[in-house]
Structure 1
Amino acid sequence: MTSPWNGHGPRITRRRLVGLTGLAALGATTGCGGGDGGGGGEGAAALRFSWWGNADRAAATQRAIDAFQAANPGTTVAGEWADFTGYFDRLATNVAANDAPDVITLGGAYPREYGDRGALLDLSEVADVLRLDRIDAAALSNGEFSGVQYGVPTGVNTYCLVVNPVLFEQTGTALPDDATWTWEDFERIAAELSAATPEGTYGAVDPTTADALDLFSRQRGEGLYTEDGGLAISAATLEEWWTTTLRMSGEGATPPASLTTELLADAAPEQTLMGRGLAGMMLGWSNTLPALRAASGQPLQLLRAPGESVEQPGMWLQASQLYSISSRTEHPEEAARLVDFLVNTPEAGRIVKADRGIPTNPDVLEAVLPEFDDDQRAQAEFIARVTPVVGDALVIGPVGSTETRGVVERLNADVLFGRTDPAAAAEAFREQVGQAIGA
């Protein structure tokens, strides 16, 4: 999933999409929700714009909002933000109550979840205002479902490996050749790092996430989901994964089960093992780099994931987040104008920079690149390096797939604590996720 504290990625999920089943009644028409019904006079529009993140993101976003309002007199924008944990719960409640923000930040499977229930605007209805012709096609496809464009990418990133070269240097361990290394190499290097560092420092963070399973299974020609909304990952692949990660935990290459599960409670960068300088490797999203570097004070680097090959790459380019518009907004054109400003103007690009991924409009990227700091430039250079060798576009999860994250976390804890074995966890995953998506 994309990281909760930056902007992310591809499969933004949460434990339960409260109230979503009531969205079908909303239809695809405009109505009484989505704002306060207007601003301070004839032709005025008052918009609400929601996103998740931290205070730094909120401050930058407010500067972009101020710039938009200056360029669009008569339109006011009220920002609404929360941390990742509470954002989707609050959004689901608001949407079910016909009180959705006009412009909504989404990610992963959420555009499909909301779009299929009529809660999002078909962006073809505002095509004369919201320009999509300069947006990267692969990233743009992340917001299209059933032939309808429901979201516009805020930027692009990729799921990859974050490494701390200082720990490698201190232990005399060579950084891997990320064009050739395997998962066996990953396990070996993690064990070597753990053995050569003080107690409490680990070669790798436990790698198990829904995104990691997607990557691992894509390398085996599968992926998590099929194009028609079914389950693609095999029990054999899941068993292989959990057999490896259980062995790594047992040999100390990754943390013990108690620490791995404890870390789930607070995924803020400064609380992660990588952010605290206590891990050599961690699978994650490329746009986590600045926050992790700032938290750790270390010159962290990005590498291709283990097991990538020319024949069957698992990595993919993904919209970090998506801007969508409520189908019930009273101001669709003004909302579309806000989204267009955010993704298509160098002015907004210079404010937001790489906070929501590397800009997908090449004109914006060209204008912003000279102003990138070292962290942002490292992301942009990594994206440019891997773009020619990543795999096909990701198959976004169907309705119900937002439950996958919770399933993975529960089963991973069961495996690591020895409550179930990898084979049984694999079957349970397929059963529980299959039920969630109706497969």
Structure 2
Amino acid sequence: MQINRRSFLMGSAGVATGLALGAGVPAFAADTQLRAMWWGSNDRAKRTLDVARLYQGKTPDVSIIGESLSGDGYWTKLATQMAGRSIADVFQLEPGTISDYSKRGACLPLDEFVPSTLKVDAFGKDMLKLTTVDEKLYGVGLGLNSFALFFDQTAFETAGIPLPTPDLTWDEYAKLAVELTKAVGKTNYAGGPYGARYTYVFDAWLRQRGKSLYKDAALGFDVEDAKEWYSFWEDLRKKGGTVAADVQTLDQNTIDTNCLALGKSAMGMAYSNQLVGYQLLSKNKLAITMLPREKKGGSSGHYYRPALIWSVGATTKNGEAAAQFISFFVNDPEAGKILGVERGVPLSPAVREAILPNLNPTEQDTVKYVNLLKDQVGDYPAPAPLGSTEFDQRVLRPIADELAFERTTPAEAAARLVEEGKATIRS
């Protein structure tokens, strides 16, 4: 491909294999150069690249250097950029991290660009609240999603076990998981994940019980809540309903490290927009439904959330250009057709209408799922407090891993979770 000022340039670190354009060939300088950084699968990287190409075709005075990373490498890279005051012009966050990183000074407030440059009026005021922290807009949602239970429909049907339904309880889920493990009968294969290390699932579990992960910039649960949570997963692990600890600890909250995507389990817990990426990795038919709930007819614990978020780096010298690119990303119908619902169901009604005829069955399933939740979702929680990212990565996950390896007990793990959580979370 000929390199010119409209070409999409790729950064050198963490680039998805095979997606760099014009490798080794210098590009001509453009009037404005933006750096964009995100994490995710090769499929996400390809879609993002294609939208960037489309944008540059319409905005030839802008060039974009894109960098796609996966796993914890993204957060390490972002921390390095923050320390060096060289944050990417456009970078990806999600609901659990936007409050944390905006309060740490990583994000540029976008209010000055609305609505002149950043066209978000059609989203509705409530949608902007999802990315507003301390009354300032620090990002733009790229789509709606919620938590979800994914399952291998082929495995269920082959085993002759009824498929999970939206009103599934946690007790019923546990029985299904054990049955699947026995019915499939494969080595290193289980009915589901060891979900004790999933912060977002724990949050739904708590909301079903009238509590929450965070409340008033502090933990919203106590030791007894955590003990019940850990005991559920330990009991299920011992009955054979979860993958082994060495499999679960591979999970870096990315699609390609999840036990379902790895073919190690029949069920997985993730975000609804990720079904597209999971299906690309699975030869079997995958399906989606709601997370289990405490009791029939009880609260689901679900809420709508921005699947992912584009924020603008606080150190950028091209804030308006970055905002203009984000506006194109979320509003242009052609861009919407490229992106589909991989980053969530579009917030723009016009884009949703434009993409519907072109969605494949898996993408249609994610839209149907978001619609299914319409009468089941609760209020969107307050922004996560400062330290929430550290709590997830350095407290909750490691303690759950120690429990899965039988290096601690549910009671000890619960006490540590609250003690270390209180030391980590700050207002």
TM-score normalized by the length of structure 2: 0.87
Helix, strand or coil at the partner of 2:246: helix
- Aligned-residue offset at 1:269: 4.1
Q: 2:15 aligns to what?
A: none
> Matched residue of 2:53: which SS?
helix
Distance 2:76 2:142 in 1: 21
| Structure 2 match to 1:218 | 207
8 Å Cα contact 2:227-2:410 kept in structure 1? yes
Contact 1:140/1:319 (8 A) holds in 2? no
Match of 2:36 in 1: 49
- Which digits, 9 at most, give the CA deviation of each residue in 1:166-191, with x for residues without a partner? 22222221123322x21111111111
Matches of 2:127 and 2:420 in 1, distance apart? 29
Q: 1:271 to 1:111 in 2, by over 3 A?
A: closer
Equivalent in the alignment of 2:117: 129
Contact 1:121 1:325 in 2 (8 A): yes
Matches within 5 A, 1:135-284: 135=123, 137-179=125-167, 181-200=168-187, 201-208=189-196, 209-226=198-215, 228-261=216-249, 263-264=250-251, 269=255, 272-284=258-270
Unpaired runs of at least 5, structure 1:
1-37
Q: Could you tell me whether the CA contact under 8 Å between 2:43 and 2:277 is conserved in 1?
A: no
What is the aligned partner in structure 1 of residue 382 from structure 2?
395
Q: Give the conservation status (yes or no) of the 8 Å contact 1:139–1:156.
A: no
Name the CA distance, whole Å, in 1 between partners of 2:161 and 2:124: 38
Distance 2:307 2:127 in 1: 9
User: Aligned partners of 1:169 and 1:285: how far apart in 2?
Assistant: 23
Contact 2:208 2:293 in 1 (8 A): yes
Would the alpha carbon gap of residues 434 and 155 (structure 1) be closer, same or farther in structure 2, given more than 3 Å must change? same
Residues 17-75 of structure 1 show CA distances to partners (whole Å, capped at 9, x for unaligned) of xxxxxxxxxxxxxxxxxxxxx964xxx32221211123332222122112112222322
C-alpha RMSD of matched pairs (Å): 2.1
Match of 1:409 in 2: 397
SS of 1:134 mapped into structure 2: helix
* Cα distance in 1, alignment partners of residues 88 and 150 from structure 2: 35
Contact 2:177 2:242 in 1 (8 A): yes
CA 1:436/1:267 → structure 2, altered by over 3 Å: closer, same or farther? closer
Q: Which amino acid aligns with 1:398?
A: P
Tell me which of 279, 288, 297 is aligned to 2:274: 288
Is the CA contact (8 Å cut-off) linking 2:227 and 2:414 kept in structure 1?
A: yes
Tell me the TM-score normalised to structure 1 length. 0.85
C-alpha separation in 1, matches of 2:279 and 2:224:
36
Which stretches of structure 1, 4 residues or more, deviate above 6 A after TM superposition? none
| Contact kept in structure 1, 2:40 and 2:254, CA below 8 Å | no
In structure 2, give the amino acid aligned to 1:340. Answer: S
**Does 1:434 pair with 2:413?**
no
Paired with 2:257 and 2:426, the residues of 1 have a C-alpha distance of 36
Amino acid of the structure 2 residue aligned with 1:159: F
- 1:97 aligned partner, one-letter code: G
8 Å contact 1:403–1:433 — kept in the other structure? no
Aligned equivalent of 1:18: none
Correspondence 1:383 to 2:379: no
SS in 1 for 2:380: coil
Distance 1:390 1:310 in 2: 13
Counterpart AA for 1:220 = R
Change (3 A) 1:272 1:328: closer
- Write the letter of the residue equivalent to 1:207: G
CA contact (8 A) 1:249 1:257 kept: no
Find the aligned partners of 2:151 and 2:125 in 1 and give their Cα distance. 30
Aligned partner of 2:20 in structure 1 is none
| Residue type of the alignment partner of 2:209 | R
Q: What is the CA deviation profile of residues 353-407 of structure 1, one whole-angstrom value per residue up to 9, with x for unaligned ones?
A: 1121111111111101111111111111111111221122133321111112231
Q: Is the 8 A contact 1:150 1:324 kept in 2?
A: yes
Gaps of 5+ in 2: 1-27
Counterparts in 2 of 1:109 and 1:171: CA distance versus 1, 3 Å: closer
SS of 2:178 mapped into structure 1? helix
- Give the structure, 1 or 2, with the largest relative contact order (CA under 8 Å, sep 6 or more): 1
Q: 1:438/1:273 Cα in 2 relative to 1: closer, same or farther (>3 Å)?
A: closer
Percent of matched pairs sharing the same residue:
29
Distance in 2 separating the partners of 1:307 and 1:374: 27
Distance of 1:123 and 1:339 partners within structure 2: 11
